Amino acid sequence: MVKDGTAFSAANIDSSWIGTNVSKTFSIACNCPVFTANDADVAGVAEMSFGAGKDFHKGIVLFLTLGTGIGTALFNNGLLFPNLELGHIEIRGKDAEKRASAAQRTEKKLSYREWAERLQEYLEKMEFLLSPDVIILGGGISKDADKFLHLLHTRANLLPAQLQNHAGIIGAAMYAKQKLDSGSTGE
């Protein structure tokens, strides 16, 4: 979770970042403006602008990054609800990302079928809580969507990310441009 350049959570990085104004720290170190935002948020914005979500600006779209953890971005009528950490909801007594992230598939040596069963549980929980119209699966694993997407079943329209693992880079560039255009200095 990142607000105004400051990290408020650190799920997959060292906890010493919590409370750090990352934008200011890196702006000083690099002697140029640096802007910080939630990685799933910026990836979701890119996917909604140029990828699988570009035609879905009515209703609720849930964008998931499946990688080291589970990142989430939620859009209602095309507007981002920022800084959600829905990869940390509890499923079977564990953080969802400790069961269903792509990293867990690799670490536990799960087949795509076995991993899809875990991911299915997570998707069912998200549908119960959010009732999305569309769910977009992104992150590093999205390049392998043909190996697991057919194993998942949702009421929502389930789509693989078109920008795949590039969505975060594209979204970060979009965010930086927006900040620069608004006259922000990165501090």
**Domain match, 28 and 45 both:** no
Mean pLDDT in residue range 71-98: 94
**Domain match, 74 and 52 both:** yes
**Domain match, 58 and 119 both:** yes
pLDDT digits (tens, 9 = 90+) for 90-103: 999 999 999 999 99
Specify the number of domains making up the chain: 2
| pLDDT score of 7 | 74
**Domain match, 26 and 52 both:** no
**Residue 66's domain spans which residues?**
39-168
pLDDT digits (tens, 9 = 90+) for 3-19: 777 777 666 677 887 77
**72 forms bridges with which residues in the sheet?**
64
- The answer as to whether 7 is a domain residue is yes
**Domain match, 82 and 49 both:** yes
| pLDDT score of 153 | 97
**Domain match, 127 and 140 both:** yes
Mean pLDDT in residue range 135-160: 96
Tell me 21's DSSP state: B
Give the CATH number of the domain where residue 76 resides: 3.30.420.40
- The answer as to whether 187 is a domain residue is no
**Domain match, 30 and 84 both:** no
**Domain match, 24 and 79 both:** no
| C-alpha 155: how far from chain center | 20
pTM, two decimals, is 0.89
- The answer as to whether 134 is a domain residue is yes
Selection from 141, 149, 162, 146 nearest residue 68 by Cα: 141
Helix (H, G, I), strand (E, B) or coil at 96: coil
All residues at 6 or more sequence positions from 91 whose CB lies less than 8 Å from its CB, including other chains = 99, 100, 121, 122, 125
- The answer as to whether 89 is a domain residue is yes
**Domain match, 57 and 8 both:** no
Mean pLDDT in residue range 8-34: 79
Selection from 7, 1, 12, 10 nearest residue 103 by Cα: 12
**Domain match, 9 and 20 both:** yes
Structure tokens of 38? 């939630």
- The answer as to whether 128 is a domain residue is yes
The better pLDDT of the pair 27, 59 is held by: 59
**Domain match, 69 and 25 both:** no
- Flag whether pLDDT at 81 surpasses 70: yes
CB atoms within 10 A of CB 53: 27
CA angle, residues 62, 68, 71, in degrees to nearest 5: 20
Report the range out of 22-26, 29-33, 56-60, 134-138 with the highest average pLDDT.
134-138
**Domain match, 25 and 55 both:** no
